[in-house]
Protein backbone atom coordinates (compact mmCIF):
# COMPACT_ATOMS: atom_id res chain seq x y z
CA UNK A 1 0.00 0.00 0.00
CA UNK A 2 1.26 3.40 -0.89
CA UNK A 3 1.80 6.12 1.65
CA UNK A 4 -1.05 8.43 0.58
CA UNK A 5 -3.68 5.71 0.95
CA UNK A 6 -2.40 4.89 4.45
CA UNK A 7 -2.58 8.56 5.26
CA UNK A 8 -6.06 8.78 3.87
CA UNK A 9 -7.18 5.85 5.96
CA UNK A 10 -5.67 7.46 9.02
CA UNK A 11 -7.50 10.71 8.24
CA UNK A 12 -10.70 8.78 7.88
CA UNK A 13 -10.25 7.15 11.30
CA UNK A 14 -9.42 10.47 12.79
CA UNK A 15 -12.52 12.01 11.25
CA UNK A 16 -14.70 9.16 12.51
CA UNK A 17 -13.30 9.48 16.03
CA UNK A 18 -13.78 13.24 16.01
CA UNK A 19 -17.36 12.81 14.83
CA UNK A 20 -18.10 10.24 17.50
CA UNK A 21 -16.64 12.51 20.17
CA UNK A 22 -18.60 15.53 18.94
CA UNK A 23 -21.77 13.46 18.66
CA UNK A 24 -21.57 12.13 22.18
CA UNK A 25 -20.76 15.59 23.53
CA UNK A 26 -23.87 17.00 21.88
CA UNK A 27 -25.92 14.06 23.12
CA UNK A 28 -24.70 14.69 26.68
CA UNK A 29 -25.56 18.39 26.40
CA UNK A 30 -28.98 17.61 24.95
CA UNK A 31 -29.86 15.07 27.63
CA UNK A 32 -28.80 17.33 30.48
CA UNK A 33 -30.62 20.19 28.76
CA UNK A 34 -33.82 18.16 28.72
CA UNK A 35 -33.33 17.12 32.34
CA UNK A 36 -33.03 20.73 33.45
CA UNK A 37 -36.01 21.98 31.50
CA UNK A 38 -38.74 19.48 32.17
CA UNK A 39 -42.18 20.82 32.92
CA UNK A 40 -44.10 18.40 35.13
CA UNK A 41 -47.85 18.01 34.78
CA UNK A 42 -49.29 17.50 38.22
CA UNK A 43 -52.59 17.71 40.02
CA UNK A 44 -52.92 19.13 43.55
CA UNK A 45 -52.76 15.64 45.08
CA UNK A 46 -49.57 14.71 43.29
CA UNK A 47 -48.05 18.09 44.07
CA UNK A 48 -48.77 17.65 47.80
CA UNK A 49 -47.44 14.09 47.66
CA UNK A 50 -44.19 15.23 46.08
CA UNK A 51 -43.66 17.58 49.04
CA UNK A 52 -40.36 19.43 49.05
CA UNK A 53 -39.24 17.62 45.89
CA UNK A 54 -41.65 19.80 43.93
CA UNK A 55 -40.11 23.06 45.10
CA UNK A 56 -38.23 24.95 42.42
CA UNK A 57 -39.30 22.69 39.56
CA UNK A 58 -41.43 24.08 36.75
CA UNK A 59 -44.89 22.62 37.14
CA UNK A 60 -48.16 22.75 35.28
CA UNK A 61 -50.79 22.38 37.92
CA UNK A 62 -54.26 21.46 36.76
CA UNK A 63 -57.58 21.35 38.55
CA UNK A 64 -60.66 23.32 39.39
CA UNK A 65 -60.79 26.73 41.05
CA UNK A 66 -62.17 25.99 44.53
CA UNK A 67 -65.58 27.50 45.28
CA UNK A 68 -65.37 30.95 46.84
CA UNK A 69 -61.59 30.99 46.92
CA UNK A 70 -60.95 33.77 44.37
CA UNK A 71 -59.72 37.04 45.86
CA UNK A 72 -57.99 39.81 43.97
CA UNK A 73 -55.01 40.80 46.09
CA UNK A 74 -53.39 44.05 44.97
CA UNK A 75 -55.47 45.84 42.40
CA UNK A 76 -56.83 44.02 39.39
CA UNK A 77 -53.65 42.62 37.94
CA UNK A 78 -52.85 40.00 40.56
CA UNK A 79 -55.08 37.46 42.18
CA UNK A 80 -55.15 34.54 44.61
CA UNK A 81 -57.23 31.40 44.50
CA UNK A 82 -57.14 27.72 45.40
CA UNK A 83 -56.87 24.91 42.87
CA UNK A 84 -58.44 21.63 43.86
CA UNK A 85 -58.86 18.16 42.43
CA UNK A 86 -61.64 17.39 44.87
CA UNK A 87 -59.45 16.08 47.64
CA UNK A 88 -56.34 18.29 47.91
CA UNK A 89 -55.98 22.08 47.72
CA UNK A 90 -53.10 24.24 46.50
CA UNK A 91 -53.05 27.97 47.11
CA UNK A 92 -52.08 29.87 43.96
CA UNK A 93 -50.85 33.43 43.55
CA UNK A 94 -51.09 34.59 39.97
CA UNK A 95 -49.46 37.71 38.58
CA UNK A 96 -50.83 39.25 35.46
CA UNK A 97 -54.20 39.85 33.94
CA UNK A 98 -56.71 37.01 34.28
CA UNK A 99 -58.26 35.58 31.11
CA UNK A 100 -61.84 36.27 30.08
CA UNK A 101 -63.44 33.10 31.35
CA UNK A 102 -61.67 32.98 34.69
CA UNK A 103 -64.10 32.56 37.59
CA UNK A 104 -65.09 30.33 40.47
CA UNK A 105 -65.31 26.57 39.84
CA UNK A 106 -63.74 26.64 36.37
CA UNK A 107 -61.02 24.27 35.17
CA UNK A 108 -57.57 25.86 35.06
CA UNK A 109 -53.97 25.00 34.31
CA UNK A 110 -51.39 27.22 35.98
CA UNK A 111 -47.69 27.12 35.18
CA UNK A 112 -45.17 28.17 37.79
CA UNK A 113 -43.27 26.98 40.83
CA UNK A 114 -44.03 25.97 44.39
CA UNK A 115 -42.36 28.27 46.93
CA UNK A 116 -40.93 27.11 50.24
CA UNK A 117 -43.98 28.64 51.92
CA UNK A 118 -46.13 26.10 50.09
CA UNK A 119 -47.72 28.71 47.84
CA UNK A 120 -47.82 28.11 44.11
CA UNK A 121 -46.55 31.11 42.19
CA UNK A 122 -48.12 31.12 38.75
CA UNK A 123 -46.55 32.82 35.79
CA UNK A 124 -49.22 31.73 33.39
CA UNK A 125 -52.91 31.11 33.87
CA UNK A 126 -54.85 29.10 31.32
CA UNK A 127 -58.56 28.54 31.56
CA UNK A 128 -60.47 25.53 30.32
CA UNK A 129 -63.20 26.18 27.79
CA UNK A 130 -65.05 23.17 29.03
CA UNK A 131 -67.76 24.60 31.26
CA UNK A 132 -68.72 21.22 32.58
CA UNK A 133 -65.21 20.48 33.85
CA UNK A 134 -65.28 19.12 37.39
CA UNK A 135 -62.46 18.06 39.68
CA UNK A 136 -62.14 14.30 39.43
CA UNK A 137 -61.83 13.76 43.25
CA UNK A 138 -61.03 10.04 43.11
CA UNK A 139 -58.58 10.12 40.21
CA UNK A 140 -55.52 12.14 39.25
CA UNK A 141 -56.15 15.16 37.08
CA UNK A 142 -55.45 14.44 33.40
CA UNK A 143 -53.69 17.70 32.68
CA UNK A 144 -53.07 17.05 28.99
CA UNK A 145 -56.78 16.52 28.47
CA UNK A 146 -57.52 19.62 30.53
CA UNK A 147 -54.97 21.61 28.54
CA UNK A 148 -56.63 20.52 25.35
CA UNK A 149 -59.67 22.46 26.38
CA UNK A 150 -57.69 25.58 27.28
CA UNK A 151 -56.58 28.01 24.69
CA UNK A 152 -55.17 31.45 24.45
CA UNK A 153 -51.91 31.88 26.27
CA UNK A 154 -50.61 28.47 25.45
CA UNK A 155 -50.07 27.73 21.78
CA UNK A 156 -49.47 24.02 22.35
CA UNK A 157 -53.13 23.56 23.09
CA UNK A 158 -54.44 25.41 20.07
CA UNK A 159 -54.87 23.76 16.70
CA UNK A 160 -51.96 24.89 14.56
CA UNK A 161 -52.67 22.55 11.75
CA UNK A 162 -56.40 22.80 11.46
CA UNK A 163 -58.04 19.86 13.11
CA UNK A 164 -54.94 18.63 14.87
CA UNK A 165 -56.32 19.34 18.29
CA UNK A 166 -59.60 20.90 17.40
CA UNK A 167 -61.74 21.56 20.46
CA UNK A 168 -64.85 19.47 20.52
CA UNK A 169 -63.31 16.57 18.72
Partner 1 sequence: MVPILGRSLILLALLAASAGSLLALATGARPSVAGWVWSRRLAYAFGGLMLLANLTMEYALLAHDFSVGYVAHVGSRSVPAWVSAVSLWSSLEGSILFWGLVLGAYVALTTWANRDRYPEHMPWAVGIWLACGAFFSFLLAGPAQPFATVANPPLDGPGPNALLQNHYLMVIHPPFLYAGYVGMTIPFGFACAALFAGKLGHDFLRPLRNALLLPWIFLTIAIVLGGWWAYEVLGWGGYWAWDPVENASFLPWLTATAALHSALLVERKGVLKGWTVTLIAATFLLTILGTFMTRSGVFNSVHSFTQSAIGPTILAFLAVSLLFSVALFALRVDTLEAEGSLTPGVSRDAAFLVQNLLFVLFTFTVLLGTVFPLVMEAARGVQMSVGRPYFDQMAVPIGVALLFVMGVGPALPWGRATGQQIQRALVPPLLGATALTLAGFLLGVRSRWTLLALLCGGFTAQVTLSEMILPVRQRMRAHGEDILEALRSAGRRGRRRFGAYVVHAGAILAIVAIAVSSTMGSSKEIQLREGESASLGAYTLTFVKGEVVQEPHRESVRARMEIEKNGQRLGTLFPAMNYYESQREPVGTPAVRSGLTEDLYLSVHNIDARAGTVGLLVLVNPMVAWIWVATAIMALGGLVALVPPLRARALAARMAAAESAPAIEGLQ
Residue 131 binding partner 1, by CB under 8 A: yes
Residue 4 interacts with partner 1 (CB under 8 A): yes or no: no
89 binds partner 1 (CB under 8 A): no
Stretch that binds partner 1, among 63-71, 80-88, 95-103, 115-123 (CB under 8 A): 95-103
- Decide: is 11 part of the binding site for partner 1 (CB under 8 A): yes
Which among 107, 60, 67, 63 has a CA at the least distance from the CA of 85?
A: 63
User: Contact between 1 and partner 1 (CB under 8 A)?
Assistant: no
Interaction of residue 55 with partner 1, rule CB under 8 A = no
d(CA 115, CA 125): 17
Q: In whole angstroms, what separates CA 83 from the centre of its chain?
A: 16
In angstroms, give the least distance from the CB of 27 to partner 1.
8
Q: Of these, 2, 5, 36, 52, which contacts partner 1 (CB under 8 A)?
A: 36
DSSP bridge partners of 123: none
Is residue 109 a contact point for partner 1 (CB under 8 A)? no
| 69 or 130: CB nearest partner 1 | 130
Q: Which is nearer to partner 1, 26 or 137 (CB)?
A: 26
CA–CA distance, 66 with 29 (Å, rounded to integer): 42
Task: Provide the phi-psi class of 81: left if phi over 0, else alpha when psi is between -120 and 50, else beta.
Answer: beta
Contact with partner 1 (CB under 8 A) among 16, 28, 39, 137: 39
Are the beta carbons of 113 and 133 closer than 8 angstroms?
no
49 binds partner 1 (CB under 8 A): no
| CA distance to 123, 128, 146, 148, per residue, from 143 (Å) | 17, 11, 5, 8
Amino acid sequence: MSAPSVRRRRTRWFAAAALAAAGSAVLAIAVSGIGNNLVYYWGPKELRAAGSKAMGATIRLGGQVATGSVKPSDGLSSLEFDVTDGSALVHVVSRGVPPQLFRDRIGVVVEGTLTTAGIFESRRLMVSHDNSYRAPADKDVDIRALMQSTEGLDPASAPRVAGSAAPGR
